Chains A and B, each alone.
Chain A
Amino acid sequence: MKFTWFHLMPWPHMPDDFRQKHRSVWVDLPNRMYEPELGHGVYHRYLDQLEYAENVGFDGIGVNEHHANAYGLMPSPNLMAATLTRRTSRAALVVLGNSIALYNPPLRVAEEFAMLDVLSGGRLIAGFPVGTSMDTNYAYGTIPALTREKYAEAHELIRRAWAADEPFAFNGRYTKLRYVNCWPKPIQRPAPPIFIPGGGSVETYDFCLDNTYSYSYLSYSGYLRAKLLMEGYWKRVAERKADESPYRAGFAQVICVADTDAEAEKLYGPHVSYFYNRCLHVYPGFADAPGYRTIKTIQTGALSQFTQSGRDYPNMTWKDLTENRYVVAGSPETVRQQMEELIRSLRVGNIFCLLHVGDMPDDKVRHSTRLFAEKVMPHLRNLWPEWNNHDDRFWVHPMNEPVPMKVAAE
């Protein structure tokens, strides 16, 4: 198993009446709510937490890209990953990822990811999301019905740019470059491992299988509701006669660990509520621009976007959220059992652990993180012995002797 400690970096100062005062945490939330000087502390606390996660033994540390929102304050996850290259030495840097359809030219992603891979000594895992509709269409103005064609072209350009040893011309529909010449190029050849965040688009299954990419399902509704979607994925894997390595798939899970189940509710309940009621408060009109999903996906997609917006988070109690496994929470033993069930039932080799939740203060983040690392993770390491608990195709290949980092102040 590979465990990545994942940070969303939410704005932790949304007021109690946020839902009443604002229709959406994304796209049109006035940024007067953002206070830059408070933000300074928030960023550094969050980066410290990612570094702490490496210290206590997580395999990876993760960041991602979002725009115009208080849900996740990383328009550029690459900046965050860049600071982490200097202060960590072992963990994979999971950038999940760069929305490649948004960059003009998308070569920028090839260059920056190459920089990160070189800076980190070959520790980059590159994520290529299509991006949420809020980010891609509403905040960044990409035409919904052309988003996927643009994405596919950007993907082709990036892979070719990494693979090439000499300049070449790229005559795409959206990007035309007479000289593609990616300096630097990544340490990991021909490319860093690539993870694709998916949310139920059926085309994405085949895209992952065609390219040997890991399918990462990022959901906040927990593993019970993820089963249907992941079964669809594994069915496709079988149809395509690909091997069934669990490392072909990953899942994001909100996790809270305390000494006892009761203590977990007491410690983390308010922050979980903050996350589900404020961070996920998205105006339905921004959730799914017409044309963003393919017709095929809508036809087969079990109306996922509607079940999403129809969910009654404000009235869900801690009991509802934990019993239905939106949140895996409790004592180390409770969490271990549920995580084992999650891993086996979804057949996933990667877990993106969301241990910072909503407006959780630093001491609680570290408490939960340490308990997970010390008392849960070791018991989950050996769940895929037939795969030797590792799949070389879906994890980083750091260089042998990276230079030791010296922090200037030391």
Chain B
Amino acid sequence: MAAVRMKSRLITLKSSGARIEVAEAGKGRDLLFLHGAGGHMLNDPLLAALATRYRVVAPLLPGYGRSVGEDDLRDMLDFTLHALDVMEKLDLKKPIVVGHSMGGMIAAEMAAIARTEVSKLCLLAPAGLWLDDHPVVDLFSKLPYELPALLFHDAEAGKKLMTAGSGNMDDPEFLKQFLVMNARRLGMAGKILFPIPDRGLAQRLYRIRARTLIIWGREDALIPAVYGKAFRKAIRKAKLVKIARAGHAVGQERPDAVLEAIRKFF
């Protein structure tokens, strides 16, 4: 795939004073992308694929990248209203709102709460539901070396993607930076995902009016694909597409297939 250069800028929300980093690339219809608990990958393959067809606008939550203002976001409503504030500030034209994992949970909440403001919704292996018979894996107690196998169907390829451009873990200065980054990101994610990623979304999904595409990797080891069915059943105008040979990071592992599904649906 052609290398796509993401540009990055900072915006400030007047209401909270939060400073938000926004990555952007591509031309076409507006597509708002909300990342998962891990944030953006370096040269993220999904963002690159989406940018070949859409104008991708991908804000980072406080705690991720250069975005700050995490102290004011504590619970699900805070996160949801923050994301709606960011969307408003970005002044997008009827964007397709795409959210992966934690970002999918936030996107679904946005669509449930602001039902007229989100008309096109794409959920990539979203968090937010809990089925007793299919517990979501406890991401927070995992050690870094366990993550590739948890997130990717092809763990070796996933490991390469995840460690691309990273430094040497034996270097104390790098290790410290890594720990700070990890604590900021997952500390923030924990506010809506820890210890169980259920903040009552199930009882609000009925409100979603947006046309909704749900995409799941068949081999998702973090949030099993059975959750896809639960989302589809609870959202009125929803379609579920399962993608073979893909894990939880379905968009990073099979970017072309995800792009294709989005293009077909919207």
Identify the A interface with B (CB < 8 A): 27, 137-138, 141, 143-146, 173, 283-286, 289-293, 295, 298-299, 303, 306
Contacts and interface: CB of A to CB of B under 8 A. Distances in A.
B143 interface: yes
A20 B195 CA distance: 27
Contact of B141 (A138, A295, A298): A138
Given A146-B74, A284-B143, A303-B175, A290 B180 contact: no
A285 B187 contact: no
B122 to A, nearest CB: 27
B183 interface: yes
A143 B175 contact: no
B130 interface: no
Interface of B: 70, 74, 140-143, 172, 175-176, 179-180, 182-191, 194-196
Prevailing SS type, chain B contact patch: helix
A298 B194 contact: no
B191 A145 contact: yes
A275 B141 CA distance: 24
B130 to A, nearest CB: 13
B184 A295 contact: yes
A146 B190 CA distance: 9
B179 A298 contact: yes
Nearest to A283: B141
A249 to B, nearest CB: 27
Contact of A289 (B74, B194, B196): B194
A21 B108 CA distance: 42
Contacts, number: 67
Among B172, B184, B190, B196, chain A packs the most CB atoms within 10 A around the CB of B190
A290 B196 CA distance: 15
A173 B74 CA distance: 11
Nearest to A24: B141
Given A137-B195, A138-B141, A298-B180, A291 B175 contact: no
A258 to B, nearest CB: 40
B190 A286 contact: no
A291 to B, nearest CB: 3
Contacts of B179: 298, 303
Contacts of A285: 140-143
Given A285-B142, A290-B140, A298 B183 contact: yes
A138 B74 CA distance: 19
A145 B176 contact: no
B147 to A, nearest CB: 11
22 contacts: A138-B141, A138-B195, A143-B195, A145-B187, A145-B188, A145-B191, A146-B74, A146-B191, A284-B143, A285-B141, A285-B142, A285-B143, A290-B183, A290-B185, A291-B187, A291-B194, A295-B180, A295-B184, A299-B176, A303-B172, A303-B175, A303-B179
Given A291-B186, A291-B188, A143 B176 contact: no
